[in-house]
Structure formats: structure tokens, C-alpha cells
Chain A
Amino acid sequence: MLEIKNLKASVEEKEILKGINLKINAGEVHAIMGPNGSGKSTLSSVLAGRDGYEVTEGKVDFLQKNLLELSPEDRAREGLFLAFQYPIEIPGVSNINFLKTALNEIRAYKGLEPISAKDFLALVKEKSQLVELDSKLANRSVNEGFSGGEKKRNEIFQLAMLNPKLAILDETDSGLDIDALRIVANGVNKLRSKDCSFIIITHYQRLLDYIVPDFVHVLYNGKIVKSGTKELALELEEKGYDWIKAEAV
């Protein structure tokens, strides 16, 4: 469903992604690990279509479409979702109003009628329970005054509401205590299905105890330098990243 071929991207003339290859089939969960600064967030930004990144080479196919040609909103409407590493606060825009707008624009793109108020509320109730998000938070401004953990849970809540085909979780685990981590992981596990693939970006293997991946990749210095199964994550946990760095030289 997603195929990244020799993807190279730069920020301000500096090459960050140096030829990424990755293929993800429907329903698979891939973990991408790697030391800080290796390009994990850059990869997710390029996939989601954030401004300021220049793709210099390669291509990305997403469900038979050329992903890189689509606007950020059309990528989302095609079924891509990015849970941000640092979700921002948007004062004055209510979570509910924002999600309703998003859901209806996605539905309109697919030629569907807007969701009824009743169905929408039922959906909010169901999905906020999934990540144990206080329903009061759903009525507040997007992420405004949320704790770090609440922001991350709100990302997963949005994921659940929008029901994407590929979800990228960028260090959703960082800054979470063990209880919050378990809640987030449970939520993700419930959303995992043959219709929804995941890319789980994480710095630590801890999250992978809860969300067991089908494949693990190590991103280092803008390239995937090693791929394997979940055992690779354990090996990284044990040995750290230094041996990867040494091997990559």
C-alpha cells in the first residue's frame, strides 16, 4: 500500500534523507527506530507534506497514487494520518468543531454526505473512550492547556476518529508515563486491522513490548541501515545504537 523508493530530501540545502526504501503492505506494522537526528521526523514530515522540505530524488506510491504530488489535505483524505511528535496548541479552535470539519471534508472527498450530529457525537463518545480521553477535553480548544500525555492521547483519538489506512506515529511514546503508554498502546492495538497499517517511530523499544511490530527498521543518518523482525528491537535495546553506527561507517 505504501512504497518508498530511493527517497532523498533536503532542508535548507542540507540533505537529510539520503535514499530511503521501504515497502509496507496492508495491515502491517513497521517500527522505525534510530538515534536522535537520524531523520525519522523528517521522513514523517515529507510523507505528510509539510512545507520546507525539498524532495530531490525518489518517489512514494500510496495506494496506487503518487503521494508527493498531493496536497497535505488530500494525503489525509486518501487515508494518511500523522500523529505528531510535538502536537501544537490551537487556541480558539475547538477539538470537536475541528474534527467535525475534518471528518466531513474527508467524507465529501469520497462523495459521502456529511455525518449527522447524532452519529458524530456517538463516534466521539466511542473513540474518546478508546484512549480514555476525558470527554471534557474533546470540547476544549485543540491541545490548549493539555498535559503532554493528553496531547499524545488526543493524537490517537483523532486517529481513531478519522479511520486512516496508514497511520504514522512519531514518537508518540516519548514523555509518557507507563500508564499513559499502556493506554495509547491499547488504543493502537484496537485500531490495528487488515485495513490499517502503522509506522511506529520510536526511540525506545519499550513501546514495542505493547505494540508488537511485524518489522523493525533502523534509520541512521538518513538511510535505513538495518531491517529485521521484532528481535532486532530487543538487540538494539541491549546493545544501544553504537554498533549500528560502527557498522554503517
Chain B
Amino acid sequence: MTTVATTVKDKILSVFKNVSVVNNTTYRKEALEYLQSLEVPHSRMENWKYTRPAFLAKNHYELASEIQNIDISLYLLDATYYHLVFINGLYSEKESALPAVAKDIVSLELKNTDTSFNKNFFTTLNAAYYTAGLNIHIPAGIKLDKPLQIIHLSTHNYIANVHHLIKVEKNAEAEILITSHSLSEKAFLNIFTEIECKENATLTAHLLQLEESESSQYNYINCRQGQNSVFTINTFSLGKAWIRNDLDIAINGSHCEANLYGAYLPQNNQHIDNHTLVKHLKPHSVSNELYKGVLTHRSTGVFNGKVLVEKDAQKTNAYQSNSNILLSNDATIYSKPELEIYADDVKCSHGSTTGQIDEEALFYLQSRGISKDSAMRLLVQAFVADVTKSLSNQTVKTYVEEYVADRFKSGYAQ
């Protein structure tokens, strides 16, 4: 039987038909097998109602066979940070900078213990065919002295599957930037990141999606938190790519803190989807979630945030909020906050708002001699600053704020 779904899948899988899986581990074998039973997500699946990746089958993808020579200095947020560079799914040692002291912390050998690849078609595809990735292991009691930036650069019509493992041991601390950039609208980046924060660990991750071309990205991150750990993840989608982010956080210890902040500013025909899931499994933890969207032109945004509080997770405090500004009549946002609570002694709140720019505020600013364009910029900046004000990393904060100022420097396009 040939259905539309199987042709889409066949088309995507055909890219990999000549791949001889080198380290033919059980993990990969299982993934390959499981992949047979999966469909490419489509709109009849509850979690994919508004985001349809079938268009990928229209592109002709290839796998990069060698590491391209590209000067990546443009993509460094801060030249003093450690940085590790992946170009079209291949690790570029030449472009990376990792001093000897950090060599024990980062390796390129992935030892997979988890079978969480079964999330969906893309994660399973990644598990079966990933070409590179980092195994970051922060030993107990160690604080990584500088942030580490993982750079993903996409060019041509390459499809890249990158798989990272990040483990922060007991009492350890690290800050990691995961950035993506693209030079071609035909590229597809599929990143799968597994994170574990052990007891008392602190991890701050910044996702900066800065694609300069209308390429595509699927990004899946899961994080398991142990007792007293603090995990913060800030997702800023500031580029031009089609993006689907899936964030799964399992708070598996008591007295944890999970912070999820995000801002997305799609333009033109762009589509950005943020799906988040925060599972409270143990008592006395806090989760804070704030996502904000500014949408222009004919762009689409999707926010689906689910907070699940299990029976044992008493005394949970969970806050979630999503708000959006539509700067064009043709822009669309689908926002769905979800709360599922099985414990009785909890404090939870969620909310979602969507609106236009405040006309009263606009007039107030104009009446003081400020042009409509500048007034608009000030109001959009203020809206996004609500998210960036929580950032302790000044480099990231400034980057995002300057992006917004620059993007709206001459008002906004319908």
C-alpha cells in the first residue's frame, strides 16, 4: 500500500540508503528497526496539528561527506568561550577551541544508555543515523570555568543528524550555548540532546537559533533532574528557519528548579513551533516558564506547553505563561497551555495572551515626538525584555536585545 505518508517517509529515508552504519551498535539497530514502524509526523497527530514536516520530502537532501572549510568566527558569541563546531553534522576539529583542561570533560565518543529515541520519527532517525555529537561530562564538584558554545552550521542541501549527551554530576555547574546557523535554505538540521543534572547540579543552556537562511531545524532536548538541581533553558528563535523545538523535562528529585524562557520572532512565511513538557515527579520543586512571541508578515507560531504534576509531587509550584504580539493581520499564533495535576497540595498557574501592539501606548509615545516606527520598536523591545531580563549572561542578553532593536529599527513590516 502506498499512502502519502509512506512516500514522504521513503523520500526522506532514501537519503540514507547508502549509509553503512559504521559502529553498528545495538542502539542503532534498535533505532533502525523502530524507525520502520514510525510515520513522518502529520497533522492528524495531536502534537503535530499545526506543524507539518511533510514539506521536507519536497527537498532533495544529501549527506555531507567531508568537513567543509568555513571561517566560523562570525558565529562566536564570545571569542573567549570554549567552542565546538559541527558543520553539516561533522565535527570540525580545526574550527573548534577546547583547551587541554577541558579535554577530560568533552569527548566525541557517545555511549548511549538511553532509549529515549522513541519519542518520534525525527529522534529515531537521529538515533539511527547521527554522524557526530558531543559527550559532555562535568565531574562532581567541578564548575566549568567558562561557557561552552556548540555551533551547528548548515550549508548546501545537507541533512545533518547530531546527537549530544550532557551530564552534570553532583555539585557540578556548567553553562552551555547551543547555536545554529545556516547558509542555505535547503539544509535540514536534526539535533537530539540528552541532558542529565545530578543532585545539586546547575546547568544553564541557551539555545540560539540564528539561521540566516530559510532552512529547517528539528530540535529535541530532554533533561532529567536529580534532587536540588537547577536547570535553566532559554530558547531564542531569531533566525529565518522553519523550526520545531521539543523540550521534555522530568523533575525526578525534590527541591529542584526548572526555568524555561523563550522568545520567538518569526517573519515572512516562517514557522516556529515550541512544544514543552515539564513533568513534576517529586515533591517541593518549582518550575517557571515564560515564552513570548512577536510575529510579523505571514508567519506562524505554535506554543504548546504542558505541565504535568504527578501524585507524588506535592508542594509543587509551577508557573507558565505565553504571550504574543501579532504585528500583522496575516500572522497566526496557536497557543495552548496545558496543566495536568494529580497532586492536591500544589500551586500552579498558567495563562496565554495574544494581542496587537497597545494603541494607547503607541499614541502616548508619538505625542512626545517619537515616530510611529520608533514607538513600535520601543514597545516590542519592552515586550521581549520581559524574557531577557532574567538572563544572567550579559553576552546572550545583549545579543538578543540588539537583535530585536535592529530587527525593528525601522518599525515593522506587515
Contacts and interface: CB of A to CB of B under 8 A. Distances in A.
Given A90-B361, A93-B379, A101-B374, A72 B366 contact: yes
A182 to B, nearest CB: 26
B369 A109 contact: yes
Most buried by A among B361, B370, B378: B370
Interface of B: 358-361, 363-372, 374-375, 378-379, 381-383, 385-386
Nearest to A75: B367
Interface string A57-95: 000000000000001110111000110100110111100
Most buried by B among A77, A102, A158: A102
Given A92-B381, A92-B385, A76 B368 contact: yes
A88 B360 contact: yes
Contact of A92 (B360, B374, B375, B386): B386
A50 interface: yes
Most buried by A among B359, B363, B381: B363
A90 B362 CA distance: 9
A88 B364 contact: yes
A49 B367 contact: yes
A76 B366 contact: yes
A93 B386 CA distance: 11
A97 B367 contact: no
A160 interface: no
A84 B368 contact: no
A50 B360 CA distance: 9
Contacts of B371: 73, 105
Most buried by A among B358, B365, B385: B365
Contacts of A103: 369
A51 interface: yes
B386 A72 contact: no
Given A76-B367, A93-B378, A93-B382, A71 B360 contact: no
Contacts of B386: 91-92
A218 B252 CA distance: 71
A90 B366 contact: no
A90 B368 contact: no
A140 B369 CA distance: 20
A106 B365 contact: no
Given A73-B372, A101-B374, A48 B382 contact: no
Contacts of B365: 90, 93, 98, 102
B385 A90 contact: no
Interface of A: 48-51, 71-73, 75-77, 81-82, 84, 87-88, 90-93, 97-99, 101-103, 105-106, 109, 141-142, 158, 162
B370 A101 contact: yes
Contacts of B385: 92
- Interface SS of chain B: helix, strand, loop or mixed? helix
Given A72-B363, A72-B367, A81-B368, 16 more contacts: A49-B366, A72-B366, A73-B370, A75-B367, A76-B367, A90-B379, A90-B382, A91-B382, A92-B385, A93-B361, A93-B378, A98-B365, A98-B370, A101-B370, A102-B369, A109-B369
A88 B374 contact: no
22 contacts: A71-B366, A73-B369, A73-B370, A73-B372, A77-B369, A81-B367, A82-B367, A84-B364, A88-B360, A88-B361, A88-B364, A90-B358, A90-B364, A91-B382, A92-B382, A98-B365, A99-B368, A101-B374, A102-B365, A102-B369, A103-B369, A105-B369
B368 A92 contact: no
Contacts of B375: 73
Nearest to B378: A93
Contacts of B368: 76, 81, 98-99, 102, 158, 162
Contact of A76 (B369, B381, B382): B369
B378 A97 contact: yes
Contacts of B382: 90-93, 141
B237 to A, nearest CB: 20
Nearest to B379: A93
A98 B374 CA distance: 10
Contacts of B381: 92-93
Closest CB pairs A-B (n = 5)? A92-B382, A76-B369, A72-B366, A102-B368, A106-B369
B265 to A, nearest CB: 16
Most buried by B among A49, A75, A91, A141: A91
Contacts of B379: 90, 93
B370 A50 contact: no
A77 B374 CA distance: 14
A71 B372 contact: yes
Contacts of A81: 367-368
Contact of A105 (B358, B364, B374, B383): B374
A73 B366 contact: yes
